[in-house]
Amino acid sequence: MSRARLLGVCAMLLLAASTAEAQRPHPTLEAQPRGDSAIQLDGVLDEAPWTRAAIGSHFVERLPIPGAHPPVDSEVRVLYDHDALYIGITMHLLPGESPRGLTYQRDAYRIWDDDAVTLKFDVRHDHRTTVGFATNILGAQLDYISTDNGRSFRREYDAVWEVGTQVNADSWVAEFRIPAEALGLSPDDDARTIGFDVSRDHNARMATDDWSLIPPEFGSTSALHYGEITGVTGIGGGHLLSLIPYAAGTYLREPGGDGTTWTPNGGGDIRMRIANDVWGQATILTDFAEVDLDDATINLNRFPLFFPERRPFFLSGADVFEFGEAGVSQLFFSRRIGLDANGRTVPILGGIKTYGRVGNTSFGILDVATQATSTTPASNMNVLRLRQNIGESSFVGAILAMREYLPVAGAGRVAPFTADPSISAGVDGLARFFDDRLSLTGYAAFTRRTGEPLLLDDAAQAGDGGSGRIGAAWLGQNWTPSLSMLYVSDEFRPELGFVRRRGILQTRVEIPYLHRFKHGVLRSYTLGATGQITRTDEGDANLGSTTGWDASITTRGRWEFLVGADYESDTVETEFTLVPGVVIAPGSYRGATMHTTVTSPSGRNPAASVYYEVTNSYFGGIRHYLFADLALWLGPHFRVTASSTNAWITLPGHPAFNTTTLNSDLTIAINANLTSDFVVQVNNVAKIVIAYARVRWRFQPGSDVFLVYREDVDFSDDGFSSIARSLTLKASYRFDALL
């Protein structure tokens, strides 16, 4: 597909987006002013404003039977004052029921396996972005951002909010205070409407109920289907300024070095509302010592692995900067800033970011400078993003990203310098039709670099490259087919992006069918067929194809069983090293793969899953692959999780070998504000064990103390030896002021 055709297809998509708009009924709830009465967040809705507040009820079951009336109802009330929204939710219990609560840890997905409730806000009322806040009966907290109705979900979003819970004989109650800043709520003296929904996870029934029903085929964060809060006035006034300075110090010991070194560090973040819905943020000498580790992973293919962004500075306003297909071809991927190709930290000297919305136009501007290291030159990176919302659920947008290397010395290296930066640009769009069940998506992106490649491990040629994708998907109650075409030229090199595979023209079709049972032993079954054809970017040669099927059943008790098979062909164009000592030669490889999965109910203790796969299409050989994970709670204060991958591989001309990873975590939670994690990771290909321990104390909202220990141990044939050992103490304190 030529670049001209890509642009033509994208232009047609954008034209279609401009005409797409649908109307749908929403339940509404009028907010009540808090007045002069103080609200104590104790899970007891006995203050006078709560008794006067309008009640939203008649929740509807989403799972297991969409649209059914649950045997017990829930009730939601909304208050507001100048600074925050207050949400009170009463969830009635079945006779004799004892609600479950086993998770204290902040931002743990397992919170939804307990009795839990989630608030979902579409603050901008654009029917595409969700800011969510969840808690369980223990008062544990999880917050997240979901963009484009679930295409991207980021739980690393870390807002400041409060909640209190109370378990009664016939109900449990959650009482929230969500500050205007946590919502990104702009000041407005006029009455406003906010997209809003409440979802209750009821453990005893293994069911999920919504205040405003979200059809399950749309996912759990489809802002297209939220209800509305009305009557909110005078909230979020002034320009809120937040200062979060930090002080840290690290002891580091590396073999062959000069013993143990102590490195003090300090910096911080500044965040300010510049205008109604426009935010500015700055970071200085940024430190991410407390961020979760990526799982130990072994790459058993020739394409790069994709890891999600976890760092708070890059997650704020993330919905504005989304572009491309995550994990496949992205023009901008924030992990390319501050981390090298091996995941090692590249010091960030500073960064500024402005993002928000004016009318129907969303925008984002990002500028970050990084220091030179022994593996990467000093850089300055810029991103500009614009997106015009059209109707309730469509948009057109554009993005520009640049990276310039700077002649700044650091860590024994002086970076090369060029006056010609790497430039990437693109346009994208989304159009929805037929009550938002039919979606058309697409983007076209280009990269240009007129100078020579500056990174030694980058084999890119100077010149122009392009990428584009068009897709159509139908979200029916039973059928959810999709069709897409992806183009990535061999020269497409977005220096601030991520590309899994270059030089391809790929067509993919998926045809899943889901049937739900209202009664009986089974909840549902699914049948699915997939097909994919990959050709060179010029379309003149075949690079591989896949055809497959799968079938699964889910029992009333939420056990899941899945089986499937694929027939695959794959052409390797250039030899590559699979693992040390094993080189895969160019050639065409084909064969069949069979796989099966068994998953126990996640809402029961313990919870486990097992996945097994065998294939004879693995580069001319045979691979057996086994993944297993386990989660065990010893009451609400102790949790053990472990997962392991094992592959047994036989290839022509090589002795049989196996690969193994282990990721294990012991979590000790004294309460929701004081938790500790003890992590052990093993990778038998890299011959490394990582021991990691982290204690987090949130001594007041937005202010934390972290103590982080990490040791990397090599276990090659010479025995065990420490590669690096570090101990970091970091403290941050949040100051808020209204200007």
Closest CA to 226 of 114, 107, 131, 86: 131
pLDDT at position 463 is: 54
pLDDT at position 289 is: 74
Q: How far is CA 608 from the centre of its chain?
A: 22
What is the 3 state secondary structure string of 601-653? CCCCCCEEEEEEEEEEEECCEEEEEEEEEEEEECCCCEEEEEEEEEEEEECCC
CB neighbour list of residue 590: distance below 8 Å, 6 or more residues apart: 567, 568, 569, 570, 617
Burial 109-120 (b: 16+ CB within 10 A, else e): ebbbbbbbbbbb
pLDDT at position 109 is: 87
pLDDT at position 258 is: 65
Confidence class for position 451, pLDDT limits 50, 70, 90: low
Inter-residue long-range contacts of 725-728, CB under 8 Å, 24+ positions, other chains counted: 725/252, 725/253, 725/254, 726/250, 726/251, 726/252, 726/253, 727/250, 727/251, 728/248, 728/249, 728/250, 728/251, 728/289
pLDDT at position 278 is: 82
pLDDT at 519 over 60: yes
pLDDT at 726 over 60: yes
Inter-residue long-range contacts of 381-384, CB under 8 Å, 24+ positions, other chains counted: 381/337, 381/496, 383/321, 383/332, 383/496
Confidence class for position 147, pLDDT limits 50, 70, 90: confident
Query: Are 70 and 94 contacting, i.e. CB atoms less than 8 angstroms apart?
Result: no
The stretch 69-78 carries a mean pLDDT of 97
Closest CA to 272 of 384, 355, 374: 355
- % of the chain surpassing 70 pLDDT: 91
pLDDT in tens, 367-377: 999 888 777 77
Q: Retrieve residue 116's tokens.
A: 């839990």
pLDDT at position 378 is: 83
pLDDT in tens, 648-689: 999 999 999 999 999 999 999 998 899 999 999 999 999 999
pLDDT at position 276 is: 67
pLDDT in tens, 166-210: 999 999 999 999 998 888 777 776 788 899 999 999 999 999 999
Measure the CA–CA gap between 98 and 203, rounded to whole angstroms.
10
Confidence class for position 555, pLDDT limits 50, 70, 90: very high
Confidence class for position 452, pLDDT limits 50, 70, 90: low
Which of the two residues, 348 and 136, has the higher pLDDT score? Answer: 136
**Pick from 52-66, 178-192, 251-265, 455-469: least confident:** 455-469
Domain spans in the chain, listed from the N-terminal domain onward:
31-232
pLDDT at position 156 is: 61
Q: How far is CA 82 from the centre of its chain?
A: 31
pLDDT at position 19 is: 41
pLDDT at position 511 is: 97
pLDDT at position 257 is: 61
pLDDT at position 256 is: 65
pLDDT at position 357 is: 81
Closest CA to 620 of 692, 570, 576: 570
- % of the chain surpassing 90 pLDDT: 63
Closest CA to 570 of 645, 621, 530, 613: 621
Q: How far is CA 342 from the centre of its chain?
A: 20
The DSSP letter of residue 465 is E
Query: Are 722 and 712 contacting, i.e. CB atoms less than 8 angstroms apart?
Result: yes
CATH topology of domain 31-232: Immunoglobulin-like (2.60.40)
Query: Are 396 and 18 contacting, i.e. CB atoms less than 8 angstroms apart?
Result: yes
CB neighbour list of residue 458: distance below 8 Å, 6 or more residues apart: 493
pLDDT in tens, 96-127: 999 999 999 888 888 999 999 999 999 888 88
pLDDT in tens, 559-592: 999 999 999 999 999 999 999 999 999 999 999 9
pLDDT in tens, 19-41: 443 344 689 999 999 988 899 99
Helices (H), 371-462: none
Confidence class for position 153, pLDDT limits 50, 70, 90: confident
pLDDT at 13 over 50: no
pLDDT at position 457 is: 42
Confidence class for position 237, pLDDT limits 50, 70, 90: low
Confidence class for position 239, pLDDT limits 50, 70, 90: low
Measure the CA–CA gap between 77 and 32, rounded to whole angstroms.
8
pLDDT at position 128 is: 80
pLDDT at position 70 is: 96
The mean of the pLDDT values for the chain is 88
pLDDT at 453 over 80: no
pLDDT at 236 over 80: no
pLDDT at position 48 is: 94
Measure the CA–CA gap between 260 and 253, rounded to whole angstroms.
4
